[in-house]
Structure 1
Amino acid sequence: MSKNSSAKWVAEQALALLERYPLCDSCLGRCFAKLGYGHLNSERGRAIKLSLLLEIDRRVKEHELPDLGEMKEILFNMGEVGESLFSHYFGTGFQRRSCYLCNDVLPQVKEDFATKALSLLRTSPMKYVLGVRLSPRMQELETSFAVTNGLVYYESMKAEIRREVGKRLSQLGFEPEIDNPEGELVYDMDSRNVEVIRKSQKTLYLYTRLSRGVPISSWYSKGGDSLDREIGNKIIIPFTEPSDVRILEPYPLVIEDYHEERKEVMGYSLVRTSTLGKSEFNLLMENKPFSRTYRVVFYSRERKGHEIYDGIQDTMIEARNYDELMEKVKSMNVEIISVDLIRTEGKHRRIRALLTRVE
């Protein structure tokens, strides 16, 4: 075995921890949770302890550890795993110590959480995710422990509980819905109660705007009129245009807990398409048009576009966004009458088609 092998590194790190802290199998294993895929942290921790136990016994037998008192603290901190070797060398007097991090309650917490969550799901089935709420003291203790000891492969206690309870519930026919949950089952470590927190549902609408001067958000409303105030629901806007621009191509709009199939209100035409999961929502929000085509109606004594009537003209202008459009129009030295968004280009069109089947 090479001096810098992973096994030797893990053993040295674990030994350093057990010299200072009593740790149960799960809490020791969690210090190396990101090493060795497919095993429970309790399995990792017990395997590490057994490996260290063999190494300690070898050192004693090879007379590399002349002072047997040096290994007492480590055996105490190993818990039940170290008791037999302690009895072999010291007889009686083994000290049973509670885990520094979880106070030996982790197995009980997982069992309790699974039982209570199962009861709730059988009574009121729902698409769910799991959550864990640590006490402030336990949260601070765990954070300090991981940072102080430089545990780069550490997994949080909350993550371990969520994963193992979720796996057990899945085996019983209640698999968590990570992407599009209806609610979260949160286990409180202090009260040992499970709280059901309903998630808001995000629905994708496509809208066109034929009116001018009515913004989507009340933040930008001058006269008090706005779409969000009218429908009374939270609106999330992936991208839009100033309120004086009519929008003739369907634009995306995400509305929370709103279920109207079709709505005509204040010049907006809203058409419900689909409910969004987390990944779909993120995909929608991260992809904006890279090019937009506007129809600009303007007045000019010079012929600069398509003549409509006595100096009133229109033209199509392509720009990355409204600000760039204004720069281009400014250079034309004309008087703007109105602006309409006609078409956009970009990856968002394919995403829109995927989510709504609308090209």
Structure 2
Amino acid sequence: MLNSLKTELLNKSLELLSKYPLCDSCLGRCFARLSLGHTNEERGKAIKILLLMEIDKAIKEHQIEDLSQIKELLYNMGEIAKTFYHNYFNDEFQNRSCYICDNRIKEFKESFEKKALEKLVNYKTFVLGVRLTDELKNREEKFMVENQLFYYESIKNEIKRDVGKKLASLGYIPEFDNPQVELVYDMEYDAVILFTKTVRYLAFYNRLSRGIPISSWVSKGGESLEGLLNTQLVAPYSEASEYRILDDYPLIAENLVKNEINIKGFHIRKVSKIAGKELSTIFTIRPSKRLYRVTIYSEKEIKDAVKLHDNIYDIFVEAKDFKELREKVKDLLVISVDLLSMSGKSKLIADTYIK
């Protein structure tokens, strides 16, 4: 019985590491709900050491004749397999980045802790949140589903827990029911957003100007919508600041007084107070597709494009987000970009609240 249990866990780990480079934490997180009381890093390291021992035993007992078949596996195990590798191979060991976190999970935790401490100067109780990048969120979900990882834990939970423990050890008090502040780590911008017990409003906005971002930390000393309104704003999803936004995009705001605001090309409509599950839902839903109008310059005639003047054309491009759009138009001479519309559940939410 015990032998079969050991084999099942090791076989799944062997399967994962044969396909993906995984750091200790990200491998350990695949089995996070097993053996409570250990960190994911400890789990991952223990699994890798046991695998190395099993592989070494198989080599010494001549069960593995062609050693080249274990090279990829050792590369994917990372630093812990380096000495083992050099015992059997003379060539250079390949250092690979973790498929999930790109070897940055410690960096994320340290940055979150440092920035959270700066925000907690005047507070004692807290609760933590993490906003993953869309890319990491999608990659992690696909990884978990495709590999049927029933004991998996999100990287978001690991970061919140470990940073929370560090803050608690420094005298701050985790309080889930009635915290003084909520600290949300935005991974995309490497920034911590502080929410106090002020009222939050859901608003929708269009942006007809270019070059003015939502958040002050992105503006790098220039104008931002946050600065113009002198209040804290969080956009669950947005576009590059040089893109105009013609569809209705959501915005979470504190202390919005007016129901309708027009400022520097932004048109903002406040629709309701928001909290709890509604707020969580707004933050977890993204557009499935976005339609962009891209104005380009081309000396060659562009088929299916709208000719505006001489060598200037409008083309219409569907993309998941502005990063995918940039990839699609990277070989074109782009003059300007406008977001025309989005589709998916996010569109339904916008239509529901605005009506």
Task: Tell me the TM-score normalised to structure 2 length.
Answer: 0.55
Structure number with greater Rg is: 1
Question: Where does residue 4 of structure 1 map in the other structure?
Answer: 4
**1:19-56 alpha-carbon deviations (Å, 9 max, x no partner):** 00000000000000000011110010000000000001
Q: 1:126 and 1:167 mapped to 2: Cα distance? A: 14
1:183 to partner: Cα distance: 2.6
Q: 1:35 and 1:2 mapped to 2: Cα distance? A: 15
Q: Does 1:21 align with 2:20?
A: yes
**1:284-327 alpha-carbon deviations (Å, 9 max, x no partner):** xxxxxxxxxxxxxxxxxxxxxxxxxxxxxxxxxxxxxxxxxxxx
After TM superposition, the structure 1 = structure 2 runs for residues 72-151 of structure 1, keeping only pairs within 5 Å, are 72-122=71-121, 124-151=122-149
Q: 1:10 and 1:139 mapped to 2: Cα distance? A: 25
Q: 1:157 and 1:198 mapped to 2: Cα distance? A: 25
Q: Does 1:162 align with 2:156?
A: no
Question: Where does residue 37 of structure 2 map in the other structure?
Answer: 38
Q: 1:153 and 1:139 mapped to 2: Cα distance? A: 17
1:176 to partner: Cα distance: 1.2
Partner residue of 1:185 out of 176, 183, 186? 183
1:199 to partner: Cα distance: 4.0
Q: Given residue 92 of structure 2, which amino acid in structure 1 is its aligned partner? A: G
**1:203-261 alpha-carbon deviations (Å, 9 max, x no partner):** xxxxxxxxxxxxxxxxxxxxxxxxxxxxxxxxxxxxxxxxxxxxxxxxxxxxxx9xxxx
After TM superposition, the structure 1 = structure 2 runs for residues 220-231 of structure 1, keeping only pairs within 5 Å, are none
Q: 1:106 and 1:94 mapped to 2: Cα distance? A: 22
Q: Given residue 105 of structure 1, which amino acid in structure 2 is its aligned partner? A: R
1:106 to partner: Cα distance: 0.4
- Aligned residue for 2:4, secondary structure, equals coil
Q: Given residue 196 of structure 1, which amino acid in structure 2 is its aligned partner? A: L
Q: 2:123 and 2:150 mapped to 1: Cα distance? A: 38
1:178 to partner: Cα distance: 1.2
1:198 to partner: Cα distance: 2.6
1:8 to partner: Cα distance: 2.0
Q: 1:85 and 1:127 mapped to 2: Cα distance? A: 47
Q: 2:148 and 2:197 mapped to 1: Cα distance? A: 35
Q: Given residue 22 of structure 2, which amino acid in structure 1 is its aligned partner? A: L
Q: 1:3 and 1:46 mapped to 2: Cα distance? A: 20
**1:330-357 alpha-carbon deviations (Å, 9 max, x no partner):** xxxxxxxxxxxxxxxxxxxxxxxxxxxx
Q: Given residue 94 of structure 2, which amino acid in structure 1 is its aligned partner? A: Q
Task: Tell me the TM-score normalised to structure 1 length.
Answer: 0.54
Taking only aligned residues, the RMSD between alpha carbons, in angstroms, comes to: 1.9
Q: 1:173 and 1:126 mapped to 2: Cα distance? A: 8
**1:45-72 alpha-carbon deviations (Å, 9 max, x no partner):** 0000000000010000011111101110
Q: 2:66 and 2:195 mapped to 1: Cα distance? A: 56
Matched-pair identity in %: 49
Question: Where does residue 53 of structure 2 map in the other structure?
Answer: 54
Question: Which one is further off, 15-24 or 178-187?
Answer: 178-187
Q: 2:69 and 2:91 mapped to 1: Cα distance? A: 17
Q: Given residue 177 of structure 2, which amino acid in structure 1 is its aligned partner? A: D
Q: 2:123 touches 2:181 (CA, 8 Å); kept in 1?
A: no
Q: 1:182 touches 1:200 (CA, 8 Å); kept in 2?
A: no
Question: Where does residue 348 of structure 2 map in the other structure?
Answer: none
In the alignment, structure 2 segments of 5+ residues that lack a partner are: 200-254, 256-275, 277-355
Q: 1:188 and 1:8 mapped to 2: Cα distance? A: 39
